[in-house]
């Protein structure tokens, strides 16, 4: 397809590799470059897939951006490195899809608010956290029916799917996710809890979403809204499942979810990581669709 937007993946680790595998199947995105800071297994995997690689960091690839018509960059490195990547690539007219916790740009949860960002031409969108991607659609599914005073999410993830970066700064998860439950989910107040479980075989990501609504819950409308939203998420994460609920208990509305990954590079139980890469790719694809339909103009280039 001629309209595919050309993309760059920064960070050839687990997330970057999984994203690359998904992007290679995309009808809208064509991954051209993978950038790392040294020769690594991840760089080797990219080379084996026939993708161009650069091992001298972001500076090594800047000269190729315009010539290769790169329009989208996925950052799968760290919050610390992201600011530098974002500035250098934005200057060249590349839109950043940020999978780190840096959150320089606005939060994006595709089925909830992506349309707003493409309308605003956000040059940098942040994918929140794995827990946020899994749960905010459910908070929104309730808040679009009636006002939510308080949204609380509990994300339980398998120990093996939690990397050293998250472990060193677990507060970043709780803070960022709580903020996005309110800001994107539409609850007046947000709270997030993460539990790491070491069971073997590893458990599939589980998420519980509690909303406290202001008035008596409109049960039929909420049930319909939740089911519709589950279908929206399933478009890019087929293993996103409503296990139980919505359960109504006074003004509490609770949904119980399970997120199984596709098992591309990351194992299937790591639905928490899969939903990040899938949401990142989905974001880029929706931008590409907007461009193809002339509803969105890419930054001008000479």
Partner 1 sequence: MDLHGKKVTLHDMSLRDGMHAKRHQISIEEMVAVACGLDQAGMPLIEVTHGDGLGGASVNYGFPAHSDEEYLAAVVPKMKQARISVLHVPGIGTLDHIRMAADMGASTIRIATHCTEADISEQHIGMGRDLGMDTVGFLMMAHMIDEKAFLQQALLMESYGANCIYCTDSAGYMLPDEVTAKISTLRRALKDETEIGFHGHHNLAMGVANSLAAIEAGANRIDGSVAGLGAGAGNTPLEVLCAVLHRMGAEDGIDLYKIMDVAEDLVVPMMDQPIRVDRDSLTLGYAGVYSSFLLFAKRAGEKYGVPARDLLVELGRRGTVGGQEDMIEDLALTMSASKS
The only residue of 69, 87, 243, 295 in contact with partner 1, by rule CB under 8 A: 243
Cα separation, 133 vs 126, whole angstroms? 11
302 binds partner 1 (CB under 8 A): no
Residue 254 in tokens: 């609770």
The only residue of 83, 115, 121, 195 in contact with partner 1, by rule CB under 8 A: 195
Residue count (the chain): 302
**48 — alpha (psi -120 to 50), left (phi > 0) or beta?**
alpha
* Catalytic hit among 54, 108, 130, 211: 130
How many chain residues interact with partner 1 (CB under 8 A)? 36
CA distances (Å), origin 156, targets 70, 101, 127, 260: 36, 18, 19, 13
250 binds partner 1 (CB under 8 A): no
The only residue of 136, 141, 180, 212 in contact with partner 1, by rule CB under 8 A: 212
244 binds partner 1 (CB under 8 A): yes
208 binds partner 1 (CB under 8 A): yes
What's the CA angle centered on 135, arms 145 and 6, to 5 degrees? Answer: 105
The only residue of 175, 289, 292, 296 in contact with partner 1, by rule CB under 8 A: 175
Look at strands 187-197 and 205-213 and give their pairing.
Answer: unpaired
- Tokens 């920064």 found at: 10
Of residues 54, 22, 61, the one with CA closest to residue 283: 22
Q: In which element (H, E) is residue 231 found?
A: helix 219-234
Contact flags string 122-151 toward partner 1, x per CB under 8 A: ----------------------------x-
170 binds partner 1 (CB under 8 A): yes
The piece of 35-43, 134-142, 186-194, 266-274 that touches partner 1 (CB under 8 A) is 186-194
In b/e form, how buried is each residue of 227-265, taking b as 16+ CB within 10 angstroms? eebbeebeebbebbbbeebbeeeeeebbbbbbbbbbebb
The only residue of 164, 215, 293, 302 in contact with partner 1, by rule CB under 8 A: 164
The only residue of 52, 78, 256, 296 in contact with partner 1, by rule CB under 8 A: 256
Q: Is 108 a catalytic residue?
A: no
The only residue of 4, 45, 82, 210 in contact with partner 1, by rule CB under 8 A: 210
The piece of 4-12, 29-37, 158-166, 284-292 that touches partner 1 (CB under 8 A) is 158-166
Which value, in Å, is the radius of gyration of the alpha carbons in the chain? Answer: 19
Site of interaction with partner 1 (CB under 8 A): 150, 152, 154, 156, 159, 162, 164, 167-171, 173-175, 191, 193-200, 203, 206, 208, 210, 212, 243-245, 247, 252, 254, 256
Please identify every residue annotated as catalytic: 130
């Amino acid at each position: 397809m001629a309209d595919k937007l050309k993309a760059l993946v920064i960070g050839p680790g687990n997330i970057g590799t999984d994203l690359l595998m998904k992007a290679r199947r995309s009808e809208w995105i064509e991954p051209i470059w993978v950038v790392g800071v040294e020769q690594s297994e991840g760089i080797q995997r990219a080379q084996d897939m026939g993708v161009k690689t650069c091992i001298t960091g972001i500076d090594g690839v800047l000269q190729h951006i315009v010539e290769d018509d790169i329009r989208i960059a996925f950052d799968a490195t760290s919050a610390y490195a992201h600011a530098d990547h974002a500035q250098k690539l934005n200057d060249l007219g590349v839109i950043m899809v940020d999978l780190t916790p840096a959150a320089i740009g606005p939060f994006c949860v595709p089925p909830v608010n992506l349309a707003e960002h493409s309308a605003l031409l956000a040059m940098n969108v942040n994918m929140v956290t794995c827990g946020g991607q899994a749960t905010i659609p459910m908070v929104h599914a309730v808040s679009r029916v009636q006002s939510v005073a308080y949204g609380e999410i509990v994300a339980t993830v398998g120990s093996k799917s939690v990397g050293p970066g998250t472990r060193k700064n677990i507060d970043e998860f709780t803070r960022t996710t709580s903020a996005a439950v309110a800001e994107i989910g539409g609850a007046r107040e947000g709270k997030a809890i993460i539990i790491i479980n070491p069971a073997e075989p590893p458990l599939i990501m589980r998420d519980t979403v509690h909303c406290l609504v202001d008035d008596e819950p409109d049960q039929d409308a909420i049930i319909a809204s939740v089911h519709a939203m589950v279908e929206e998420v399933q478009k890019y994460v087929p293993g996103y499942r409503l296990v139980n609920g919505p359960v109504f208990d006074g003004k509490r509305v609770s949904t119980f979810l399970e997120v199984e990954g596709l098992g591309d590079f990351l194992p299937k139980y790591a639905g928490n990581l899969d939903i990040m890469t899938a949401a990142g790719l989905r974001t880029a694809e929706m931008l590409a669709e907007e461009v193809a339909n002339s509803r969105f103009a890419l930054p001008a280039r000479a």
